[in-house]
Structure formats: structure tokens, C-alpha cells
Amino acid sequence: MAAARGFTLLEVLVALTIVALAMAALLRMSGLAAENSAELRLRMQAGWIAENRLAWLGTQSVPPPTGTMQQILDEDGMRWLWRQQVSRDTHEARLLRVEIRVAAPDAPDYPLAVLTGYLAARP
């Protein structure tokens, strides 16, 4: 009679362990991808808010005053804190340097977007 060929219980358990580890790694990678996607979405929205603020400042007939100003904004179902710092440019007196930082209100020291632009100052 010929000997039966097949897998032993130990070989099957080792194969299942390898498959389980591979599946756990794939699950972790998909979780990280989802987390990164959410973070990128927040950063993109914060960047749009900063760009909108700078564009709005550029349309005003009177340039913004120097100093710091901040405000909480409700947009797209979220609350955002934007902070603008306006200062005179050290190299060109006719320009104002505007830095806009956008963050979540509960983490104001962790900006999701930072945008720097220049506007014409009053003569």
C-alpha cells in the first residue's frame, strides 16, 4: 500500500499563522492610509481658508493694519481658527508681509496651513 501524502497539522498551523500575520499587516496599512487621507483633507481645507483670507485682503481698498488678528470661522461643518500677522517688509517699505495660519480651535499652536503673501501698503 502506498503512503498517503498530505500536510501535517503543524504545517497547516504554520501556514495559517503566516496568512494571519500578512492579513494583520494589510489591515494596519489600510488603516494608516485612511488616517493619512483624513489628515490631507484637513490640510487641504485649511490651505483653502488661508488662500481665501489672503485673496479677500487683496480685494480691500484699504490695506490691513499691522499686527496680529485672529478669528474663529465655521466652514464646511467644521470650526477653524485663522490668525494673521501683518508686518512691514524690511526690504521694501511699500509692501506688507501677511502670514496666515489656520488651525483647529482646540489646537491653535498646531497650524494645518501656513501661507505668506505680500500686499501693497499705504503710501
If pLDDT is split at 50, 70 and 90, which confidence band does 123 have? Answer: low
- Grid cell, residue 114, equals 501656513
- Grid cell, residue 3, equals 503512503
Rg (CA), the chain: 27
Q: What is the CATH number of domain 9-120?
A: 3.30.1300.30
pLDDT per residue as tens digits for the range 14-33: 999 999 999 999 999 988 88
Grid coordinates 479677500 are at which residue? 56
Name residues whose C-beta falls within 8 Å of residue 111's C-beta, 6 or more positions apart in sequence.
Answer: 46, 101, 102, 103
The pTM score is: 0.72
Domains of the chain, residue spans: 9-120
Distance CA 117, CA 88 (A): 12
- Phi/psi for 97 (5° steps) reads -95, 125
